[in-house]
């Protein structure tokens, strides 16, 4: 019942894509995401590279995806270092050779295929790989002196290795916009299911009303261009690019402008087939399949994409950084102008100009009292208060009293010690205002600061309302045919953290309000 309710909420095109994905995945285990993303790549006219060991259903994925399209010309070939161009592009026409023309008979070969699968592609000869470059990028094939338009919609290639560096294959590898890891079945229960089932059939039963017609596919490609990239998507892309540049030396990942552009089209296609006119975080998560180059950097790239999605949250159109700067300034001003930042002691200016503590009372057993015959004031320079340095106090004339040695304890107290007899006189300066005590300031200043805090709080509240409203809308549309729910949950966590941080800012404004009362 719940599944039917969920399906009812889907857009018609989304329901149709769900039916196709379910059909292609029938009888396969742990291949749902691979199938969904590879199908999306085919629907958006992108090429896909499947990376994984032999026997992981890579060719099966390709054949099944081709079967969801009406009137499909399909070509498949297992490449090796002995493969010849004739096996891929077609044999040379003997009739044309007699007429002194070099022409291949391309019917039933790659130049006339709508879908193709090339297994172990990097084991092929340079002659084949060089010809592939133009065919899969520009969808043309130079057959003799004629340039033929290739009907190729999508090429899937597979290998258990990535192209070796410095072999001139970077340009061809860059044409595979989607790169998918296809490991062996990992979960025990799924492996046991695999053992109990028949081997998967290459073709699957696709409902006639769901099968994709050529005219539909062409129309969709045009409509995908109308999908807009959301501000959040643009922020995610910016964060990812910054990290890839910063970690370029460590990861060795270079993303061409062409790859970024086609990856953006893939995100638009994801939004379109999920029934949306604008991309969101779930579409941006597909970048994890577009940006890695070697198995060694696959996980690191996935983490960069995931972190960018989680850190982005919702774009409010209001600069939080600017509001934060204003709040920090007001906070500093309130602390500085309304409150004592340190204890204020009772001091006075000595006749020599130094700021000093004055001691008027002393016991008659203390040396200085006995010497003068009365309680003469003693003066302690305040400059020694923050250190443990020993010093001599001053008399009224500013002369050092050599018979007394003093030292502060860094806690605000001072010991005066009679040099010869060791008689001790403790002294603790009188505090007029403790740190944090409110100053006696102009009420107009307090009112002005309070008004500024209220405005900042209102701005934060406005941002919070925007973020909460948009967050609810985005979260309702996050579920994607092409991204597992546990990955889209990252975006939800990021939005919730953003909301929590905004609430903390508002709470801090309330703290500042209280200080201004």
Look over the chain and give the mean of its residue pLDDT values, rounded to a whole number.
88
Q: Are strands 146-149 and 404-408 parallel, antiparallel or unpaired?
A: unpaired
Q: How many helices (H) and strands (E) does the chain have?
A: 19, 15
Q: Is the pLDDT at 265 greater than 90, yes or no? A: yes
Higher pLDDT: 94 or 221? It is 221
Secondary structure in 3-state letters for 251-315: HCCCCCHHHHHHHHHHHHHHHHHCCCCECCHHHHHHHHHCCCCCHHHHHHHHHHHHHHHHHHCCC
Q: Mean pLDDT throughout 9-16?
A: 83
Percent of the chain with pLDDT over 70: 92
The Cβ of residue 477 has, within 10 Å, a number of other Cβ atoms equal to: 16
Residues 6+ apart with CB under 8 A from 513: 450, 453, 454, 457
Residues 6+ apart with CB under 8 A from 364: 370
Q: Mean pLDDT throughout 175-204?
A: 69
How would you class 193 by CB atoms within 10 Å of its CB: exposed for 0-12, middle for 13-18, buried for 19 or more? middle
Residue where the block lists tokens 């285990």: 29
User: H/E element holding 149?
Assistant: strand 146-149
Rounded Cα distance between 181 and 389, Å, is 69
> pLDDT tens-digit profile of 377-430?
899 999 999 888 999 999 888 999 888 999 998 888 999 998 777 888 899 999
Residue where the block lists tokens 């010309």: 73
Higher pLDDT: 511 or 364? It is 511
Q: Give the pTM.
A: 0.80
Radius of gyration of the chain (CA): 38
Domain 11-312 classification at class level: alpha beta
Phi, psi of 403 (to 5 degrees): -75, -5
Q: Where are the domains of the chain?
A: 11-312, 320-338+439-515, 344-433
Q: What are the Cα distances from residue 150, in Å, to 62, 63, 141, 155, 421?
A: 19, 19, 6, 12, 108
Phi, psi of 116 (to 5 degrees): -145, 150
Higher pLDDT: 93 or 253? It is 253
Residues 6+ apart with CB under 8 A from 119: 58, 59, 76, 77, 78, 79, 157, 158, 159
Cβ 500 vs Cβ 307: under 8 Å: no
Phi, psi of 59 (to 5 degrees): -65, -35
Q: Mean pLDDT throughout 280-308?
A: 96
Q: Is the pLDDT at 4 greater than 50, yes or no? A: no
The pLDDT of residue 118 is: 94
Q: Which of 127-131, 362-366, 376-380, 428-432 has the lowest mean pLDDT?
A: 362-366
Give the model's confidence band at 186: pLDDT under 50 very low, under 70 low, under 90 confident, else very high: low
The pLDDT of residue 1 is: 38
Cβ 327 vs Cβ 303: under 8 Å: no
Q: Of 289, 254, 231, which Cα lies nearest the Cα of 482?
A: 289
Q: Which of 26-30, 83-87, 488-492 has the lowest mean pLDDT?
A: 26-30
Rounded Cα distance between 17 and 11, Å, is 10
Residues 6+ apart with CB under 8 A from 97: none
Rounded Cα distance between 158 and 51, Å, is 6
Give the model's confidence band at 368: pLDDT under 50 very low, under 70 low, under 90 confident, else very high: low
3 state DSSP class of 146: strand
Burial 245-277 (b: 16+ CB within 10 A, else e): eeeeeebebebeeebbebbbbbbbbbbbbbbbe
Give the model's confidence band at 3: pLDDT under 50 very low, under 70 low, under 90 confident, else very high: very low
How would you class 71 by CB atoms within 10 Å of its CB: exposed for 0-12, middle for 13-18, buried for 19 or more? exposed
């Amino acid at each position: 019942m719940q599944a039917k309710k969920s399906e009812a909420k889907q857009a018609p095109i989304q329901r149709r894509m769900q039916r196709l994905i379910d059909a292609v995945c029938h009888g396969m285990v742990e291949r749902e995401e691979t199938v969904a993303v590879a199908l999306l790549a085919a629907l958006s006219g992108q090429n896909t590279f499947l990376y994984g060991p032999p026997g992981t259903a890579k060719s099966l994925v390709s054949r099944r995806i081709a079967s969801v399209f009406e009137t499909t010309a399909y070509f498949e070939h297992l490449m090796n270092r002995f493969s010849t161009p004739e096996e891929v592009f077609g044999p040379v026409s003997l009739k044309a050779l007699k007429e002194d023309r070099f022409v291949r008979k391309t019917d039933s070969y790659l130049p006339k295929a709508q879908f193709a699968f090339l297994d172990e592609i990097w084991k092929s000869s340079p002659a084949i790989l060089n010809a592939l470059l133009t065919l899969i990028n520009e969808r043309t094939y130079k057959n003799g002196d004629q340039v033929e338009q290739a009907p190729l919609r999508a090429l899937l290639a597979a290998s258990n290795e990535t192209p070796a560096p410095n072999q001139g294959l970077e340009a061809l590898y860059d044409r595979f916009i989607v790169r998918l890891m296809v490991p062996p079945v990992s979960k025990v229960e799924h492996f046991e299911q695999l053992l109990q089932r028949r081997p998967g059939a290459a073709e699957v039963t696709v409902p006639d009303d769901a099968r994709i017609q050529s005219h539909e596919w062409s129309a969709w490609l045009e409509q995908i261009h109308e999908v807009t990239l959301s501000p959040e998507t643009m922020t995610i892309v910016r964060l990812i690019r910054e990290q890839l540049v910063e970690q370029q030396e460590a990861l060795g990942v270079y993303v061409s402008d062409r790859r970024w552009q086609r990856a953006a089209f893939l995100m638009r296609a994801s939004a379109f087939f999920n029934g949306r006119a604008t991309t969101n975080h779930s579409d941006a998560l597909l970048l994890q399949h577009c940006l890695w180059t070697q198995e060694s950097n696959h996980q690191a790239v996935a983490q960069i994409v995931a972190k960018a999605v989680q850190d982005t949250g919702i774009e409010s159109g209001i600069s939080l950084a600017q509001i934060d700067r204003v709040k920090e300034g007001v906070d500093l001003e309130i602390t500085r102008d309304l409150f004592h930042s340190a204890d204020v002691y009772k001091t006075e200016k000595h006749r020599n100009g130094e700021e000093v503590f004055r001691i008027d009372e002393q016991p008659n057993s203390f040396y200085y009292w006995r010497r003068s015959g009365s309680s003469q004031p003693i003066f302690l320079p305040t400059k020694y208060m923050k250190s443990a340095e020993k010093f001599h106090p001053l008399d009224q004339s500013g002369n050092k009293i050599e018979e007394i040695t003093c030292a502060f304890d860094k806690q605000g107290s001072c010991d005066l010690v009679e040099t010869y007899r060791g008689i001790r006189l403790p002294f603790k300066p009188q505090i007029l205002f403790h740190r944090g005590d409110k100053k006696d300031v102009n009420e107009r200043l307090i009112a002005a600061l309070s008004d500024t805090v209220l405005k900042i709080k209102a701005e934060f509240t406005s941002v919070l309302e925007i973020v909460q409203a948009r967050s609810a809308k985005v979260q309702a549309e996050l579920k994607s045919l092409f991204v597992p729910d546990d990955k889209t949950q990252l975006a939800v966590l990021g939005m919730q953290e953003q909301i929590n941080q905004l609430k903390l800012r508002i709470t801090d404004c309330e703290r500042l309000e209280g200080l201004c009362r």
